[in-house]
Amino acid sequence: MEFIHKPNEIVVYDANQKEVAKVTFPSIGEHEVDVNHTVVDDSLKGQGVAGMLMEEVAKDMKETNRKAKLTCSYAVAYFARHPEKKTW
């Protein structure tokens, strides 16, 4: 599975270039973003894709030296269950 990092979002496309998973994190300050939305297509449900998106967010925050505010309910729950993966 390929995660495409774009400014303030990470996206997964299927073989037909249809967007099948995404997490968005708009800027709310010079070095801070708001992880505000995670969506995974029904075709990928139950495969851990949302969790993989959170790991990609954590990696992005570390690489870009940004902090993340979590307002997406999935992101809040994921990082509460996996505090060791919160790299900011």
Domain at 43, CATH number: 3.40.630.30
Candidates 28, 31, 48; CA nearest to 40 is 48
Q: How far apart are CA 18 and CA 32, in angstroms?
A: 29
Encoded tokens for 11: 């996206």
pLDDT of residue 88: 83
Mean predicted lDDT score pLDDT of the chain: 96
pLDDT of residue 87: 84
CB atoms within 10 A of CB 72: 22
Indicate the number of domains in the chain: 1
21 in Cβ contact with 44 (< 8 Å): yes
pLDDT of residue 48: 97
Section 33-58 average pLDDT: 97
Encoded tokens for 60: 């992005």
Percent with pLDDT over 90 in the chain: 93
Domain that holds residue 10: 4-85
Which of the pair, 12 or 88, is modelled with greater confidence?
Answer: 12
